[in-house]
Structure 1
Amino acid sequence: MDTKRILIVDDEANMCSIMQDILADEGYEVMVAENGSEALQIVREITPDLIITDINMPCMGGLELLREVKSLHPDIQFIIMTGFGELETYLKAMHDGAFDYITKPLNIEMLKIMVAKVLGQNRYFASGIFQRN
């Protein structure tokens, strides 16, 4: 099985580091960028399977990054994260092609489940950690 690549985009270095460690421990290849412009450069060189991006960042925000990347690589999946739980932002992200939305502070277990779901890795579902009622 190929190792799935994840690009984390957030201007908070501590958040990137925490997420990088957690997702690398889950077996993913993880790259980080501090803003949308840097992320776009990475995407042009290495195509990730998933981008997890903050909404509000300098240079290029998450929604603009989503639109730019989707125009180049429509198959790259996105999870949008933000400290702002605004319904309008959520709806805009979903309309523009995001797979899902997660709020800060992050629930680490939910992040792991969401990433596994996006990347089609069913280990959480098979183990019974995630069950629908």
Structure 2
Amino acid sequence: MPTQTILLVDDDPQFNQLLADIFADTTYELVTANDPKKALELLKSTQIQLVITDYKMPGLNGIAFMEAARTIRPQLIFIMISAFLDTATARELINAGIGGVFTKPLNVFALLKCAVSLLEEHTSSQPPTQLHNAPALKANSLKKRLENFRQDYEQAVFTLYSKDTQLAANALAIPATSACFKSD
């Protein structure tokens, strides 16, 4: 069964690595590029279904990159990430057919959920001869991981809240002391 491939494009190598780490435990194949022009070259040689890209990059902004990429692969799905995104740009992205828009700091859970949802939708829209290759097991695995992450997060928040409450109770149990030193 062919693996679905995600292309991660960000001119910041550290953020690109963060995105790669987020998707490393999934069953998707990952390809990364730190330059949009190199990413366009990758699109010519690699079967890619989803592109997650930064909006502001040297050489090509996100919309220009998406337009150039779609001349190579018209059916590509895009998710755009940006530290600064105004309403007009968000509208432009939506009108250009973007699959998702995320701002930094990044909500990892929402990004994973969006990627899985878009890939599932893309797979279900394929002709029946290609449906037997659908990555349903991969998507279910990713959904389970997301649920586990969410549960771990909620448990960590509960634990921190419990400890904070306990510390506050202990602080209230300490008798208040005050002293006034009067010099004669």
TM-score for the superposition, normalised by structure 2 = 0.64
Partner of 2:42: 42
Percent identity, please: 28
User: Is the 2:43–2:69 Cα contact (8 Å) retained in structure 1?
Assistant: yes
CA distance change for structure 1 residues 85 and 2 in 2, over 3 Å: closer, same or farther? same
Structure 2 equivalent of residue 75 of structure 1: 75
Report which structure shows greater RCO (CA 8 Å, sep ≥6). Answer: 1
Q: Deviations over 1:74-108 (max 9, x none)?
A: 11100011001311111111211211111111111
Paired position in structure 2 for 1:103: 103
Q: What amino acid sits opposite 1:10 in the alignment?
A: D
Tell me the CA shift for residue 2 of structure 1.
2.6
Q: Is the 8 A contact 1:10 1:53 kept in 2?
A: yes
Preserved CA contact (<8 Å) 1:7 1:50: yes
Distance 1:125 1:71, change over 3 A: same
Unmatched segments (≥5 aa) in structure 1:
none
Tell me which structure has the larger Cα radius of gyration.
2
CA RMSD of aligned residues (A): 2.1
Residue 4 of structure 2 is matched in structure 1 by 4
How much does 1:127 deviate? 9.2
User: More helix per residue: 1 or 2?
Assistant: 2
Q: Unaligned regions of 5+ residues in structure 2, if any?
A: 121-135, 148-184
**2:26 matched residue in structure 1:** 26
The answer on whether the counterparts of 2:109 and 2:146 sit within 8 Å (CA) in structure 1 is no
1:90 aligns with 2:90: yes
Q: Aligned equivalents of 2:144 and 2:37: distance in 1?
A: 38
Contact 1:66-1:97 at 8 Å conserved across structures: no
Matched with 1:112 is 112
